[in-house]
Amino acid sequence: MLYRHPYYCVTRSIENGQQLYQEEECYLELSEDKITTNQNVFDLQHVFDMSYRSTAELYGFLYLHTNKGVFSYNVKHAPDELIQTFHSLK
C-alpha cells in the first residue's frame, strides 16, 4: 500500500420520527496496481483520473474517474497527497 486516505460513509435513518445521520470512517487505499475502498476494488489501469472539489460544508468530494463511471467519496481533508501519488503512478 502506497497511500491511505480516510473518507466518510454517511447513512440516514428515521427513528421515532427523527431523521438521524450516522457517519462511518472508511479508507481509500492506493497500491501500485489497484485502489481499494470499502465496497470496490479498481484496477489502476481502469482508473483514468482522480479529482477533488472542496465545498463550504463539512465534506469535500473526491472523484475517481473509471471505466465504470465516476465514483464520489466524502472527505474532510483535501486529498492532495493521494492525488499526487496517483498521478506519479500513471
Q: How many domains are contained in the chain? A: 1
> What's the whole-model pTM score?
0.87
Q: What integer pLDDT is reported at residue 14 of this predicted model?
A: 92
* 8 φψ region: left (φ > 0), alpha (ψ -120 to 50), beta (else): beta
- Taking each continuous run of H as one helix and of E as one strand, the counts in the chain are 1, 7
Count CB neighbours of 87 within 10 A: 10
**So what's the pLDDT on residue 90?**
82
Please give the residue range of the domain that contains residue 52.
Answer: 3-89
The whole-number pLDDT of residue 77 equals 94
Number of neighbours of residue 29 by Cβ within 10 angstroms: 17
Note down pLDDT in tens along the chain; length 90 residues. 899 999 999 999 999 999 999 999 999 999 999 999 999 999 999 999 999 999 988 899 999 999 999 999 999 999 999 999 999 998
Q: CATH no. for residue 21?
A: 2.30.29.30
